[in-house]
Structure 1
């Protein structure tokens, strides 16, 4: 149950017993454990202080699905979110250039593997999401490929309408590091009858994810996600779209819209 006014989500188990509390990075209350502030912190600073406190208390710190600290002995699993602030006009929210911490606090029964338990999965199912090891490789502009973008037609060598095989061949035969799909009906589950449907191929070396759709019953490329930290550079009207800080990109795009009398949609 989401309590919007205070940035808190209550997670309930059988018989509506509270078993977890999720604190929003931007709107939630500040939570302190011992001398460590956990919420709305720069992740690297929070990680360092959590690690120091855990060593002092002989608690084990592991990495959760998102690459953030998780301490079963304390029943806490950390997370992150992009920071927002008030824009210069004082009305609209504005994206900032840093991430800040959020947290999930759970009862002892859920602490060992919180994101694998029923109540937490019902609130936030991360089973299909890409797991992070806790380290985030980042390519410099010099290390990135530079792709041309033809709106609605192609992104670099990837033309919309390609088959999965053609996508892999266009990327030099790279084998996907991971893929995602589903059965025709979600309630069938794994191993049930029915044709498994491919929806995404993730290419870590190139730094892109290919998304497929089935206009005539067979998978063809319908969209491409370019990974911000490792993907190729793509520019529009001279504006670098990939690997830029949010504030710089927002400012450049807003100015482009004004200069060309375009309406944002």
Structure 2
């Protein structure tokens, strides 16, 4: 599901979570046909498989994703069984646990309500990979996503995040995001965590210049991996991410995709069309990255709705074309830049991505 599929609250179903047993009409352990029947034959997107077996199915009109696990062997009981349900924040059902409404709210409010409910029930609440509440006893792991304006508006980002949820059966409850079924749906092992810290102040940020289609700050598109590190004062990346096109099908070459530099507050994105990886894009983090200006607009660390509006206005005044990119951020099409949103607790602040000609942005 995506932000452009969002629905008004009055059009969304209301479901009750029975921890470790069911959510709404879905019971953990159902097979795919039973899931679809429980959802009144709702339309299903193309099924996703892993190792030739059904892994998960998305129901876009309902706003849920059904995640399956398989038993051992190939006999009875080895087929796909519903193990987890991911609920979309923009169009999914409004799920309630006892008196606590879980969906579409500020994360801090839901956290406070869940802690109160857990205290009364005598169960513990911990933080998951993203800093949001997770309760093993209830098979519940909360998350958050960018909030948007009314569905009647074509494109409006808000300055806050709202809650979504992953609900699991007993087999996955101990550590949902570490289990094979959930990793196959959403692998967060290399994801950037959200500590909820406040953004740096303008006085605490370095200032970088930007040359469209060439580079930003000391970084120039086409740099090698070693040149990027040297340009950042020798900083070593906190995280390196890559991919293997032959993963699951035998040995293959690992390709570097990006490096995250927490000290500088930037992520370097690489491509390697004909050889060693070279710098193709730079993402400046909204919480910790340097300040970058365009046409008198401070792009980094501000309320994202303000920056979106100022950037669009400047683009139109200049007579440039503009488009909305992968995460919903606007940018001048000819200049290879767009505004990104970085979570900071309940809010979002503006970051930005700058990229080389011909680089394919994948979000």
- Compute the TM-score of the two structures, normalised by the length of structure 1: 0.90
- Aligned-pair distance for 1:80? 0.3
Give the counterpart of 1:166 among 214, 222, 227: 227
- Aligned-pair distance for 1:34? 2.2
Aligned partner of residue 103 in structure 1, secondary structure: strand
- Aligned-pair distance for 1:6? 2.5
1:210 has 2:268 as partner: yes
CA RMSD of aligned residues (A): 1.9
- Aligned-pair distance for 1:253? 1.6
Report the counterpart of residue 14 of structure 2 in structure 1. Answer: none
Report the counterpart of residue 107 of structure 1 in structure 2. Answer: 169
Instruction: Describe the shift of the 1:138–1:65 C-alpha distance in structure 2 as closer, same or farther (beyond 3 A).
Output: same
- Aligned-pair distance for 1:91? 4.2
Report the counterpart of residue 70 of structure 1 in structure 2. Answer: 134
| Cα separation, 2, equivalents of 1:67 and 1:77 | 10
1:3 has 2:41 as partner: no
- Aligned-pair distance for 1:64? 1.3
| Cα separation, 1, equivalents of 2:163 and 2:123 | 20
Alignment check: 8 A CA contact 1:137 1:230 kept:
no
Structure 2 residues not aligned, in runs of 5+:
1-56, 71-78, 324-363
| Cα separation, 2, equivalents of 1:188 and 1:231 | 38
1:54 has 2:118 as partner: yes
- Aligned-pair distance for 1:263? 2.1
1:73-98 Cα offsets, whole Å, 9 max, x none, are 100000001111238xx441321111
- Aligned-pair distance for 1:184? 5.7
Report the counterpart of residue 97 of structure 2 in structure 1. Answer: 33
Alignment check: 8 A CA contact 2:111 2:133 kept:
yes
- Aligned-pair distance for 1:63? 1.6
Structure 1 residues not aligned, in runs of 5+:
none
Report the counterpart of residue 140 of structure 1 in structure 2. Answer: 201
Give the counterpart of 1:118 among 174, 177, 180: 180
| Cα separation, 1, equivalents of 2:196 and 2:157 | 24
1:97-134 Cα offsets, whole Å, 9 max, x none, are 110000011101111111122222222222332344x4
Runs of 4+ that moved beyond 4 A? none
1:250 has 2:314 as partner: no
Farther-moved stretch of structure 1 (194-203 vs 73-82) = 194-203
| Cα separation, 2, equivalents of 1:86 and 1:229 | 26
Aligned partner of residue 20 in structure 1, secondary structure: strand
| Cα separation, 2, equivalents of 1:184 and 1:5 | 32
- Aligned-pair distance for 1:69? 0.9
Alignment check: 8 A CA contact 2:315 2:322 kept:
yes
Farther-moved stretch of structure 1 (12-21 vs 229-238) = 12-21
Give the counterpart of 2:69 among 5, 13, 24: 13
The number of residues matched between the two structures is: 259
Aligned partner of residue 17 in structure 1, secondary structure: strand
| Cα separation, 1, equivalents of 2:187 and 2:259 | 20
Aligned partner of residue 86 in structure 1, secondary structure: coil
| Cα separation, 2, equivalents of 1:179 and 1:139 | 24
Report the counterpart of residue 45 of structure 2 in structure 1. Answer: none
Give the counterpart of 1:238 among 271, 274, 296: 296
Aligned partner of residue 147 in structure 2, secondary structure: strand
Instruction: Describe the shift of the 1:12–1:197 C-alpha distance in structure 2 as closer, same or farther (beyond 3 A).
Output: closer
| Cα separation, 1, equivalents of 2:166 and 2:227 | 42
| Cα separation, 2, equivalents of 1:114 and 1:20 | 9
